[in-house]
Amino acid sequence: MDSGAASYRRFLDGDDDGLVGIIKEYKDGLILYLNTFTRDLDLAEDLMEDTFVKLVTDRPAFKGKSSFKTWLYAIARNKALDRLRRRRHDVPLSEVEGQIDDGRLLEDEYLRQDRKIAVHKALDALPPDRRQALYLSYIEGFDNREVAAIMKKSGRQIENLLYRAKASLKRELDREGFRYEDI
């Protein structure tokens, strides 16, 4: 059992410090992952909070079929998709597409080195599924099986998606004049 699962078990048994430990361990990664969906850092932070609120209010069962982190990221992904579906109905799509990503400042601070910023910008230009697959696999370190569980796709679909994502990323980096030795 990983530390997230152990902390969640403690929380379910009445120890609030278990939840505090989960939040400390996963909040930053969740915000950055959710930002790949929303491209709005404030919304990503709200969704991160909604994910932890779901743990507190609904107390969903963690059955151990995946790692705790995989399970938590899947909950966060579902929260993001639900919010984006509702948001599409509330706001004209043209307004949403025109929004400026105000989260760039935090990401630039987080990714201080020039080469990481170049890769991050290239990731932003990718279609959402490809961006998410690369983020989960290479930045968060999930294996293909875990990425498939989070994204609700088959292992073969993830393999294909990662192959296409890497090719797309290479094209984006080539377009920006990126040197691969810098990675």
pLDDT at 36 (0 to 100): 84
- Per-residue pLDDT for 119 more than 90? no
Number of alpha carbons in the 13 Å side-chain half-sphere of residue 73? 32
pLDDT at 112 (0 to 100): 43
Contact 175, 120 (CB under 8 A): no
Q: Note whether 1-103 and 111-183 share their fold.
A: no
The structure tokens listed for 11 are 């929380």
Nearest Cα to Cα of residue 21 among 6, 38, 1: 6
d(CA 7, CA 29) in angstroms, rounded, equals: 17
How large is the average pLDDT for residues 29-53? 90
Per-chain mean pLDDT for the chain: 81
**Domain with residues 1-103, CATH architecture:** Orthogonal Bundle (1.10)
What percentage of the chain exceeds 90 in pLDDT? 49
| pLDDT tens readout for residues 48-101 | 999 999 999 999 999 988 899 999 999 999 998 888 877 765 545 444 444 434
Sorted by where each begins, the domain ranges of the chain are: 1-103, 111-183
- Per-residue pLDDT for 109 more than 50? no
d(CA 67, CA 72) in angstroms, rounded, equals: 9
How large is the average pLDDT for residues 16-38? 91
How large is the average pLDDT for residues 150-169? 93
The structure tokens listed for 8 are 């969640």
How large is the average pLDDT for residues 139-146? 91
**Domain with residues 111-183, CATH architecture:** Orthogonal Bundle (1.10)
Q: DSSP code of 106?
A: H
Give the pLDDT band of residue 174 (cuts 50, 70, 90).
confident
Buried (b) or exposed (e) across 114-142, using 16+ Cβ within 10 A? eeeebbbbbbeebeeebbbbbbbbeebeb
